[in-house]
Amino acid sequence: MSEGQEGGVEKDYNNRNLTLEKRGINMAKKEERFEVIFRDGSQLKDEGVRQILVDKETGVNYLCWKSGYGASITPLLDSEGKVIVTK
């Protein structure tokens, strides 16, 4: 096995698996599908952070709540129980 290879998988100087890039997978690419339109709270407090996210592709609004090691996400509903969609 040549230098730069480990277990038959080629590695670069950062020890990344080069086969991911060869398959067209860019691990550094950041997905910009969701936009945060409201944020309240703090990770330093027990109540955590509450955010309202909007899916840029569908317009669906989501409530996201993060506290400690836990997180929850759910579609935001109006008073009639219908999903809120922002156009």
pLDDT band at 56 (very low <50, low <70, confident <90, very high): very high
pLDDT band at 81 (very low <50, low <70, confident <90, very high): very high
Q: What is the pLDDT of residue 59?
A: 97
Q: Look at the block and give the residue holding tokens 């990344």.
A: 16
pLDDT band at 85 (very low <50, low <70, confident <90, very high): very high
Q: What is the pLDDT of residue 31?
A: 73
Q: Are residues 15 and 39 in the same domain?
A: no
pTM: 0.61
Mean pLDDT of the region 62-80: 94
User: Rounded distance, CA 64 to CA 75, Å?
Assistant: 9
Q: Which of 55, 52, 59, 41 is nearest to 76 (CA)?
A: 52
pLDDT in tens, 32-55: 899 999 999 987 777 899 999 999
Contact 78, 61 (CB under 8 A): no
Q: Are residues 79 and 57 in the same domain?
A: yes
Q: Are residues 43 and 68 in the same domain?
A: yes
What is the domain range of residue 19? 1-29
